[in-house]
């Protein structure tokens, strides 16, 4: 049997990151924590909305890049706002088009489920307006995306 999972190598703070993540997403939990001689977590096993993830404190020479991100799709603006605010709190940073970095430098995309319908819709002019609106945003705004698509 083959299993594929995500392995994240943090500089430090893997346990704190895992605690934040499992607090934000349903069907999430920390499964195990292996600690080093000083008592700090070294290797963690967790599930994020049922997806297996391993996290490791690898030291200062490991850095995340935008080449890897978690994409989270949600239905409402309230969900976007909640996740966005929680993931950039305490040292995270916003980026463009719904992307952000959490306090540990891991990239996330927080997007409404309707986004692909708007930017990939059957009306190319409306889809283009929605895409242009998205390019000008940091945190995505469902109402503004819909208004751009509608030509308002």
- Looking at the fold, whether 89 and 16 belong to one and the same domain comes out as no
- Looking at the fold, whether 79 and 109 belong to one and the same domain comes out as yes
Going by pLDDT thresholds of 50, 70 and 90, the confidence category of residue 99 is very high
Question: Among 61, 87, 110, which residue terminates a domain?
Answer: 61
- Looking at the fold, whether 10 and 82 belong to one and the same domain comes out as no
Domain that holds residue 120: 64-152
Predicted pLDDT of residue 152 = 87
Planar angle of CA 38, 5, 117, nearest 5 degrees? 125
Residue listed under structure tokens 């083959």: 2
If DSSP codes are grouped into helix, strand and coil, which group holds residue 69? strand
- Looking at the fold, whether 78 and 103 belong to one and the same domain comes out as yes
- Looking at the fold, whether 100 and 41 belong to one and the same domain comes out as no
Please tell me the distance from the alpha carbon of residue 133 to that of residue 123, in angstroms, as a whole number. 15
Question: Among 45, 61, 77, which residue terminates a domain?
Answer: 61
Please tell me the distance from the alpha carbon of residue 151 to that of residue 57, in angstroms, as a whole number. 48
Question: Among 61, 76, 102, which residue terminates a domain?
Answer: 61
- Looking at the fold, whether 51 and 117 belong to one and the same domain comes out as no
Reported as a single tens digit per residue, the pLDDT across 4-51 is 899 999 999 999 999 999 999 999 999 999 999 989 999 999 999 999
Which CATH number does the domain housing residue 85 bear?
3.10.180.10
- Looking at the fold, whether 46 and 87 belong to one and the same domain comes out as no
The kind and range of the H/E element at 93 are: strand 93-94
Please tell me the distance from the alpha carbon of residue 133 to that of residue 40, in angstroms, as a whole number. 44
Residues 6+ apart with CB under 8 A from 121: 127, 130, 149
Going by pLDDT thresholds of 50, 70 and 90, the confidence category of residue 151 is very high
Overall pTM > 0.85: yes
Predicted pLDDT of residue 3 = 86
């Amino acid at each position: 049997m083959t299993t594929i999972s995500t392995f994240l190598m943090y500089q430090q703070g893997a346990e704190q990151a895992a605690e934040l993540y499992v607090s934000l997403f349903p069907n999430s939990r920390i499964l195990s924590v292996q600690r080093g001689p000083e008592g700090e977590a070294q290797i963690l096993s967790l599930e994020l909305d049922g997806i297996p993830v391993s996290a490791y404190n690898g030291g200062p020479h490991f850095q995340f890049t935008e080449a890897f991100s978690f994409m989270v799709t949600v239905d409402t603006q309230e969900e976007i706002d909640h996740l966005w605010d929680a993931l950039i709190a305490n040292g995270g940073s916003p980026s463009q088009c719904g992307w952000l970095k959490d306090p540990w430098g891991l990239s996330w995309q927080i997007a409404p489920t309707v986004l692909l319908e708007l930017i990939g819709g059957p009306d190319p002019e409306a889809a283009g307006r929605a895409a242009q609106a998205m390019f000008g945003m940091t945190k995505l705004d469902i109402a503004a995306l819909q208004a751009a698509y509608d030509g308002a």
